[in-house]
Amino acid sequence: QQVKLDIGARHGLTPKLRLEVWRPLPAADKVGELEVVSVDSATATARLVKLTKDIRKQGESLRPGDRVISPKRPPKDRRTPL
């Protein structure tokens, strides 16, 4: 399964980068993992690598509004201030 992300190279995404997928509050549950396949400046395409056991048992998959995060942080000199 492939998904389109509304973030891209200008947000630090690169091909083969692994991202965690989290369901937003109130539960804040980890849903699974994605691997970035292709990137342009503002968007990316990723493939679903893994769903958590709980999500599979419930017969669910990714939903619009699920959030992605990278477990890797950029070096301090490359972080952009908020």
Q: How do residues 23-75 score in pLDDT, each as one tens digit?
A: 887 667 889 999 999 999 999 999 999 999 988 898 988 988 888 888 765 54
Sequence letter at residue 8: G
Q: Is the pTM of the predicted complex or chain greater than 0.85? A: no
Cα-based torsion angle of the residue sequence 70, 71, 72, 78 in order, rounded to the nearest 10 degrees: 50
Residue count (the chain): 82
- 71 or 3: which leads in pLDDT: 3
Identify the pLDDT of residue 38. 96
